[in-house]
Amino acid sequence: MKTAEIAQRYLDYFEKNGHTIVPSASLVTDDPALLFTVAGMVPFIPYLSGDVPAPYARAADNQKCIRTNDIEEVGKTPRHGTFFQMLGNWSFGDYFKEGAIRYAWELLTSAEEDGGLGFDPKDLWVTVYEEDDEAHDLWLRLTDLPEERIQRLGKDTNYWSTGLPGPAGPCSEIFFDRGPAYGIDGGPATDDDRYVEIWNLVFMQYEITDVRSKYDFTIVGELPNKNIDTGMGLERIAFLKQGVDNMYETDQVRPVLDIAVSLSGKTYGENHEDDVRFRVVADHVRSSLMLMSDGVTPSNEGRGYILRRLMRRVIRAMRLLGVDGPTFADLFAASRDAMKEAYPVVASDYDRISQYALAEEATFLRTLAAGSENLDASIAATKAAGGDRIGGAEAFLLHDTYGFPIDLTMEIVEEAGLSVDRDAFDTLMQEQRARAKADARSRKRQLADTSVYRDLRAKGETVFTGYTELETESTILGILADGVSVPRAAEGQIVEVILAETALYAESGGQVADKGTIVGPGYALEVLDVQRPVPGLVSHTVEVTSGEVGVDQPATSLVDAVNRRAAQQAHSATHLVHAALRDTLGKTATQAGSLNRAGYLRFDFSWGQALSDATKSEVEEIANNAVRDNLEVTTRVLSLDEAKAAGAMALFGEKYGDMVRMVDIGGPWSRELCGGIHVTRSAEIGLVSLIGESSVGASNRRVEALVGLDAFRELAAERAIVSQLTTSLKTPKDQLAVRIAELAASLKTAEKRIAQFEAKALEGRLPELAASVSAVGAYRVVAQSIGTAASGDDVRSLALQVRERVGAGAVVALGAEVAGRPVVIVVTDETARGAGAKAGALAKTAAAALGGGGGGRDDVAQGGGTDVAALPAALVAVTSALETAAA
């Protein structure tokens, strides 16, 4: 039974039993506590917690999920995958334990010809929370399970919570027994791979707070409604129904594994370590494909970092399988073909996805080459010193700076006959992970508890009138101070205010929040920010500037019209720039993010190389031609499917409802899904002036522009500068570039000649410095300050020449002021080094006196600092150190 068929049987069954079928949400969640949709329940959290009224009493879905906390287990067990699909059925105050158990058992054990999944009851086991007698008794009454195959387990396995304040409750899990060939007898309590968990039924009935750990918290009471949250792992059902040993061999994953086998020339099933690598490749390629189909792009932070890590683990695994060259073109195409039946977007958007994938692969292959050079140098240095082990710090530097995997480092080092101090490396990694976990815990603690908005949201959605109004009369529904509902707020307080209607735009879709005020009888509020803390609710962060404001009072929201107009110009200009980029670069130049505020726009788009000056000029001209043509700007509200059929572009990773707002500028030329606020005709934008273009990742570029009056002021300022230059240089403006280039070349020539004169002047001091030698034990020491120098290289060159003049036992320390900072260069000859004089140690001694740092090789080293006046003391410190060594 194919994976897609299993999913469809599931959805058909629950639709037949009165459930609304809900499409999968994006892998990119808008939950601030999460990077990704890590579980099937994530999109339903507002309904489960009661923050937002559920639009249906019961639902079912097949939710895409990404989870990387068990990434090291991928390939080693039959069930761990970073991307997985979670089948779920949900009840929001409708049926509870009895209904959930009845539905699960019927679907699992009904014959395939009757639409069921055809599992034999004798292969199924069940666990319940040890204190949940009700669930235990329902399993006995509703099914033919014998008592011995219903096991009671503790809170660590059979009590569900997110680890944050909110909903929680006991759960019951269904397991499939793969048979004695796969492990020991004894049921799920043995925690053996023989028993595969296939379905978890969560009986969500409590609200918890004071969460000390995932299993240590305080239950404050029952939820307003008892809910059902279930999750059945689609990949786990698939590998059981397809008769294979693990999820990596199912129909949606195995094709990638087979391509990896073909590229490597190795055989799957012969070597455990290679098999794990094949499975890692198959899993991570699919996960990367699905993340990119939801708009995630490789980067060094957040979601992009996770994607980059997955892709680089693929490259590492292929390299360990003996493939050093590029493989993504073949691997990603295989995953596309395996997944497109279930997710057509991976095929329709494959040009963009493959562009990111191939660029990331090329970048990391270059990174591996650079890391290999550094590792080769470390190996050579270790052997030259007679060592047999690469330090853990060096291995960690390769990992942390170059992204060089530790197992690849160990493989190369072992081939060279050396080893790696793995304990030291692991210690450094643990310290880094501890810092990261501490940061994550800190961020999690700072997240607001959205349950405070539940009662306010229950009063209905906030009506936004700002598309057509700059002033709206309403009523204050609630006031929050430090996250707590309060009846009133006095002058000077900063609080959150919830209105029934508002004309003020809440930050979203790249557009920043409106500025403005809220006024009412006897009070005035300055609006500092406007946000949507939960779906459908707008919160205004305000400062009470006069009077006292209370709940249920009349309130009028007033938008700052000048700021709003400039923000509208910027947002509409962003759409023009997007369309101009697609006209110039092609349809793969799609939006990857934006920021619009009054007079300014920033637009990120998928592209792998810098734009030429000619291309930037062309984009700017196309955008301004659209302004000149005074194109009509229209908006329509229609279904998501209708908008997509009309060719509207959506921002990847943005969450859209069933009904969307489509913005056209000039008809289909610029057609995007957008909830922002726009001008009515393009001429109102005024002017678009590109001011910057830069890289924001291996496959992303960013353009910045000023808009309207801000663009005019910038161009006027540049005109004034040009006017001043033409007057000062007595050069026509069309010849300024040539004239400035000539002046720059002349200045460079002059600087070079000055440097030559200074170098000759320093060389002229060579006899004097060599004659200043003094004996310190076995050393012949020159420790002198030479005044100022053009560069540290000049000082180093002079020190080396003095060393040659002094002869055997030479230790030369020369101090100088370079670009306003003190520098000390120390050089030694072989005789002096044999007697214990090490240039690196002496440079550190000098640097300590200068208030800085230093070091280097035993023969040549450099120290520096901030205190030029301390140069004499630094040279005395070098001499004193030599006297101590000679004593």
569, 708 contact by CB (below 8 A)? yes
DSSP 316: H
| DSSP characters over 548-573 | EEETT-EEEEEE-HHHHHHHHHHHHH
The annotation status of 272 as a binding-site residue, yes or no, is no
φ, ψ (nearest 5 deg) of residue 693: -150, 130
What gap in Å lies between CA 498 and CA 553, rounded to an integer? 11
Half-sphere exposure of 449 (CA within 13 A, CB side): 19
Nearest to 606 by CA among 615, 593, 623: 593
Collect all residues with Cβ–Cβ distance below 8 Å to 833 and sequence separation of at least 6: 858, 859
34, 443 contact by CB (below 8 A)? no
Nearest to 101 by CA among 200, 205, 246, 240: 200
Nearest to 576 by CA among 678, 655, 439: 678
The annotation status of 571 as a binding-site residue, yes or no, is yes
What gap in Å lies between CA 438 and CA 681, rounded to an integer? 50
Q: Give the CA angle between residues 45, 48, 50 to the nearest 5°.
A: 105
What gap in Å lies between CA 726 and CA 724, rounded to an integer? 6
Give the DSSP H/E element, type plus range, for residue 768.
helix 766-771
Q: Give the CA angle between residues 554, 559, 562 to the nearest 5°.
A: 160
45, 38 contact by CB (below 8 A)? no
Nearest to 279 by CA among 82, 511, 49, 489: 82
The annotation status of 678 as a binding-site residue, yes or no, is yes
Chain-centre distance for alpha carbon 754 = 49
The annotation status of 674 as a binding-site residue, yes or no, is yes
Collect all residues with Cβ–Cβ distance below 8 Å to 649 and sequence separation of at least 6: 578, 590, 591, 671, 672, 673
* Maximum alpha-carbon separation in the chain: 105
Provide the H-helix boundaries in 294-391.
Answer: 302-320, 328-339, 345-348, 350-384
Give the DSSP H/E element, type plus range, for residue 746.
helix 736-763
Q: What length is written for the chain?
A: 887
φ, ψ (nearest 5 deg) of residue 159: -140, 125
What gap in Å lies between CA 61 and CA 720, rounded to an integer? 62
Which residues contribute to the annotated binding site for Zn(2+)?
A: 571, 575, 674, 678
Which residues contribute to the annotated binding site?
A: 571, 575, 674, 678
